[in-house]
Amino acid sequence: MQKVKILGIVGSPRKNGNTAKLVKRALQAAAGIPGSETELYEMAGKEFHHCTGCFRCLETGDCRFKDDLQDFMRRYMGSDGIIWGAPVYHMAVPGSMKCAIDRMGNMSLCRSIAQGQELPRFNKVCGVLTIGATRYGGQDMVMSFLVNSALLMNGVVVSGDTWLGNYIGAAAYTGGCAPEQLRSKKVVLQDTEGMDCAENLGKRVAEMAKIVKAGLAAVKDELPSEYFYTWKEV
Ligand X SMILES: Cc1cc2nc3c(=O)[nH]c(=O)nc-3n(C[C@H](O)[C@H](O)[C@H](O)COP(=O)(O)O)c2cc1C
Residue number of the CB atom closest to ligand X: 137
For 69, the enclosing helix (H) or strand (E) is helix 69-77
Nearest distance from C-beta of residue 97 to ligand X, angstroms: 11
Residue pair 19/85 in contact by the 8 Å Cβ criterion = yes
Nearest distance from C-beta of residue 45 to ligand X, angstroms: 13
Q: Which residue, 114 or 189, has its beta carbon nearer to ligand X?
A: 189
Query: Can you give the binding site for ligand X, defined by CB under 6 A?
Result: 12, 14, 17-19, 87-91, 131-134, 137-138, 174, 182, 185
Residue pair 209/80 in contact by the 8 Å Cβ criterion = yes
Nearest distance from C-beta of residue 146 to ligand X, angstroms: 14
Q: How far is the C-alpha of 204 from the C-alpha of 198, rounded, in Å? A: 10
Query: Which amino acid, 183?
Result: R
Q: Which residue, 126 or 188, has its beta carbon nearer to ligand X?
A: 188
Q: Which residue, 50 or 232, has its beta carbon nearer to ligand X?
A: 50
Q: How far is the C-alpha of 183 from the C-alpha of 187, rounded, in Å? A: 9
Q: Which residue, 134 or 190, has its beta carbon nearer to ligand X?
A: 134
Nearest distance from C-beta of residue 82 to ligand X, angstroms: 18
CA nearest neighbour of 117 among 108, 127, 106, 105 = 108
